[in-house]
Amino acid sequence: MADYWLQDLEALETISRDDATRALFLRLALLSQNGRLKPFLRELAADAELDAETKGSLAELAQDESFLHAVEEYVRRTRAVH
């Protein structure tokens, strides 16, 4: 169980430190909260520049509301530290 949480914290820290990645996940969280995620998922599926594995992983994360909420909270709480 501790390894699972450590991996989550490492993922959240990685996301929060990269400007583009952080912006993407915060945008996904906003889209999810506003019920506007479906157009993003359609565009993602149609993107010829991304491989299937990346598309699948990103789509899975985009639909995980608890993960997106955790990203938002982590960024909000650690913004002053960074």
What is the pLDDT confidence band of residue 81, given thresholds at 50, 70 and 90?
low
* Per-residue pLDDT tens digits for 34-79: 999 999 999 999 999 999 999 999 999 999 999 999 999 999 999 8
Nearest to 72 by CA among 36, 24, 6: 24
Q: Please, what is the angle between helix 65-78 and helix 19-33, to 10°?
A: 130
Confirm whether pTM is higher than 0.85.
no
Whether the per-residue pLDDT at 11 is higher than 60: the answer is yes
| All residues at 6 or more sequence positions from 15 whose CB lies less than 8 Å from its CB, including other chains | 21, 22, 25, 71, 74, 75
DSSP state, residue 34: T
